[in-house]
Structure 1
Amino acid sequence: MTVPVLPRLRVRTLAAPPVPDLFDLLPPDVDAASVVSWVREGSGLIGWGRAASSRTADGGRGGPDRFATAAQWWRDVVAGAEVVDEVDLPGTGLVAFGSFAFAPGSPDGGGLVVPRVIAGQHDGKAWVTSIEDLDLSTAADTEPGVSDPAPTDPAEGAPAAPDLLPAPGEAQSEPARGIRLLPGAVAPPDWPRVIRAGIARIAAGEVDKVVLARDVVAAADAPIETVDVLRRLADRYGATWTFAVDGLVGATPEMLVRLQHGRVRSRVLAGTVRRDRTPAPSVTEAHPELEDAHTPDPRLRFVSDAKELEEHQFAVRSVAEALAPHCAALEVPEEPFVLELPDVYHLATDISGEASDDATSLDLAAALHPSAAVCGTPSEAAARVIAELEGMDRGRYAGPVGWLDASGDGDWGIALRCGQLSADARSMRLFAGGGIVAASDPESELAETEVKLAAMRHALGLGS
């Protein structure tokens, strides 16, 4: 296996004017695979180009050590970087984006990438970060498909902020033509059979819960534009985190872990009910940030049947147990609240605590993965059942996706409601799954996956 080259990075963050839409800043000719995103309700980070990557030319860094390998690479990169940060907010300075395979044995192991340009904004403040590799012999500088480094300011030796950002509105593109949906590893009529097999494993006592997922292939006559997909997701699903890393594009409602100034937070989702509205609204209620406390939610009576509550309790317990060794005063609410999205209701619980060790956000994401929300309980047994029944490699679907900075702070979600773009951008694998417990109904589980696929169908311009 090829070992990734360790770069020497020069980083500078400067203040910039806020923009109505971060996605307007993406250059029109940007390589789709180099686009990164972490945006929620107009705030967050986008980037493009590639200054460095922990991924290798032979398909990534897989195996059970994939998180530890990336974490060590990041520590080494941070130690050798020259950083000037004139803004000093979460998401400024040296930042890496990452996504990791769900299963250790997946050939798409995942890893961290550092863009050449990052633009961000939050609470009325905006910035742009330029990153360049000082060693012209690194693989990042010769990587095919990556644009040349941004122009530099000779006086400072770093790219000047005004030169890095295209004028808003330049990044417009035509939607892909002739998109059609094709069956994935398991055709929809056969999916209830897979669910029945999962229920049988539960009845046999192998697992208490197992999360089973299926894929659908979106084939296009022209390249699928990442910017279009991101923009549609952000417009319709503003309460989620719209993400892109290495061609994995989606809008996740689930925050696996956030670490910021010593505070640890996680949003757990499990239990899904289709909205009883036709058509679904394009804009739902505003959702609080993770630091806001729970309040009693009267809508629980609409969605809290025994099956959904059981599934949710498994997921909350698994996250709380994984965070406990790294946190003091862990706060776990007694009951969930209802997260309202255009297509579904989710049962949700926000867990929080104070960090009690030096674990980074990536370390915490590794400790939490896989949670019961995407794997099952017990996790090792559930992972075996998944491998035996799903008939596909999930790749980075249902794995951690997000970003971290030089201090180790960052956000990591779970790659849900997403698709993996092919190398030629003319197809995308879409994924959806659901938690299976003893009370699950196979036909209802098929219907749930169709509802969850609605987000990416909409993102591809196929309606909801």
Structure 2
Amino acid sequence: MSTLPLTATLVRTRAVPDPGPLVGRLPGAGGLAWVRRGDGLVAWGEAARLEVSGPDRFAEAARWWREVCATILVDDPVGLPGTGAVALGSFAFGDDDGTRSVLVLPRVVLGRRGGRAWLTTVGDAPEADAVPEPVAAPVGVVYGEGAVSPVRYEEAVAEAVRLIAASPLEKVVLARDLLAVAEQPVDPRWLLGRLATRYPACWTFAVDGLVGATPELLVRLERGLVTSRVLAGTIRRTGDDDRDLVLAASLARSSKDLEEHEYAVRSVADALAPHCTGMNVPETPFVLHLPNVMHLATDVAAVAADRSSSLELAAALHPTAAVCGTPRDLALAAIDRLEGLDRGRYAGPVGWVDATGAGEWGIALRSAALDPDDPRRLTLYAGCGIVAGSDPEAELAESQAKLVPMRDALGA
């Protein structure tokens, strides 16, 4: 664990004119972002920082954030979710792999929501916008196998299907990775700009070297309303609109995909139940159309029944069946046995929390992690839900489709 001391205790939020594309305002490569359909937050500098690992990482982070908020004074006439003191964070998927989770109170936050924009500063951070440095496109990107080759992935899927047939395991999510190496250090702002433009319906994020555009909202808490978007069940788009409509209809009827989706929805509803009342879980999913794939999707909504923050709700939900499997303990054991890679912060919660506890946390999917020791190198990740009817070749193809957003962002 490490924290940087606050240089002062005053957090000031002021309304500002529309800043244009938020990711274009990041002054350098080390910024943070959480943007969807042009709204959201970008931030830079660090007034305070927590690094933590292990099974208590969420509890320690929630406690640290409460302690930070208790030491500051907030001047916030804007009064929207995401104004005042805000921390952005990214958490490890697993309890025991030693991956550090990060929660940062930035020195400067630029936000926009519903036509209103604001600038938040901590301590003596300047209120004037920093002048962004030029952003260069990645050069000479080449790809190589990660820890899990395509052949090895198909073998793992086949073994998972056999395990499901012979045990109480119903679903397990298996991930694979892909290594990308550029000739020069990769500027995350280039990736953010491409992702935000091409995938506006997703939540585009950057936290401490983890960059992506996730279609899956783990949890949002705002004015007592809790919402979650659950995705499970995927089919690749062809680029032919008529053909894609036929594929969408087949996805909506697919017993294999509906089974996978049911597990994911049930895991979210069960995890939220102790913290919520009046839960609304639609009986049938809808098909979410993205540029590269289509997903079965369900939006769960409920009313908060306790004082849990959005970060604490994210901790209660993680890992859902959408990124782990079900039953959870058996799925985690199967991942440990079959997957063959270190997920790091891939498929962990990523997002933000403010001083009131409001916030948004997505699942870090469609993402890549920059190598902290060599910023020319990135590891791209994709995962698929394996159930009794899964076919190894089809699951490999699905994983390749899920790698498309990051490959496109790199200019492939």
Relative to the length of structure 1, the TM-score reads 0.85
Amino-acid identity (%)? 52
Q: Equivalent residue for 1:331? A: 280
Q: Is the 8 A contact 2:277 2:302 kept in 1?
A: yes
**What code does the residue aligned with 2:171 have?**
K
Q: Which residue of 1 aligns with 2:270?
A: 321
**Which residue identity lines up with residue 335 of structure 1 in the other structure?**
T
- Measure how far apart 1:276 and its partner are: 2.5
Rounded Cα–Cα distance in structure 2 between residues aligned with 1:264 and 1:451: 31
Post-superposition offset of 1:279: 10
**C-alpha separation between the residues in 2 aligned to 1:251 and 1:50?**
23
Query: Partner of 2:298 in structure 1?
Result: 349
1:137-286 matched pairs, under 5 angstroms: 150=125, 159-160=126-127, 163-166=128-131, 170-277=132-239
Q: Which residue in the other structure is 1:401 paired with?
A: 350
Aligned match of 1:43: 39
Give SS of 1:458's match.
helix
The residue matched to 2:282 in structure 1 has which SS? Answer: coil
CA distance in 1, matches of 2:139, 2:130: 29
Q: Does 1:94 align with 2:66?
A: no
Question: Cα 1:429–1:83, aligned 2, differ >3 Å: closer, same or farther?
Answer: same
**1:359 and 2:308 correspond:** yes
Residue 428 of structure 1: which of 372, 378, 383 is its match? 378
User: 1:54 is paired with a residue of what secondary structure?
Assistant: strand
The Cα RMSD (Å) is 1.9
How far apart in 2 are the matches of 1:130 and 1:191? 46
**Equivalent position amino acid for 1:398 in 2:** A
Question: What do the CA deviations read for 1:365-423 (whole angstroms, capped 9, x no partner)?
Answer: 00000000000000111011101111111000000000000000000000000000111
Residue of 376, 382, 389 corresponding to 1:439:
389
The separation in 2 between residues aligned to 1:298 and 1:259, in whole angstroms, is 36
Could you tell me which amino acid in structure 1 is paired with residue 180 of structure 2? A
Provide the residue aligned with 2:404 in structure 1: 454
Q: Alignment partner for residue 414 of structure 1, among 363, 368, 393? A: 363
Number of equivalent positions: 408
Instruction: Report the CA distance shift for 1:3/1:248 in structure 2 as closer, same or farther (over 3 A).
Output: closer
**Partners of 2:5 and 2:330 in 1: how far apart?**
37
- Name the counterpart of 2:249: 301
TM-score (norm 2): 0.95
Name the amino acid aligned to 1:195.
V
Counterpart residue type for residue 448 of structure 1? E
Structure 1 Cα separation of the partners of residues 340 and 2 of structure 2: 31
Taking the aligned partners of 1:412 and 1:53, their CA distance within structure 2 comes to: 18
1:165 shift after superposition: 4.1
Give the AA of the match of 2:19: V
Please report how far the alpha carbon of residue 244 of structure 1 lies from its aligned counterpart in structure 2 after TM superposition: 0.6
Shift of 1:426: 1.0
Which amino acid in the other structure matches residue 192 of structure 1?
E
Question: Aligned residue for 1:110?
Answer: 101
* Equivalent residue number for residue 23 of structure 1: 23
Residues 367-376 or 43-52, more deviating:
43-52
Kindly report structure 1 stretches of 4+ aligned residues shifted beyond 4 Å: 297-300
Counterpart code for 1:446: L
Query: Could you give the per-residue CA deviations for residues 14-34 of structure 1, whole angstroms, max 9, x where no partner exists?
Result: 11111331122111xx2x3x3
SS at match of 2:180: strand
Alignment of 1:73-88 (within 5 A): 73-88=64-79
1:227-280 per-residue CA deviation (whole Å, 9 max, x = no partner) reads: 100000001000000001111000000000000000000000000011132699
Q: Distance in 1 between matches of 2:190 and 2:223?
A: 34
Letter in 2 for 1:48: W
Mapped contact 1:269–1:348 kept (Cα < 8 A):
yes
Give yes or no for contact 1:66–1:111 (8 Å, CA) kept in 2: no
Choose 200-209 or 440-449, whichever is displaced more.
200-209
Which of 302, 323, 327 is the matching residue for 1:378?
327
In 2, Cα distance between the equivalents of 1:66 and 1:333? Answer: 32
Aligned residue type for 1:110: S
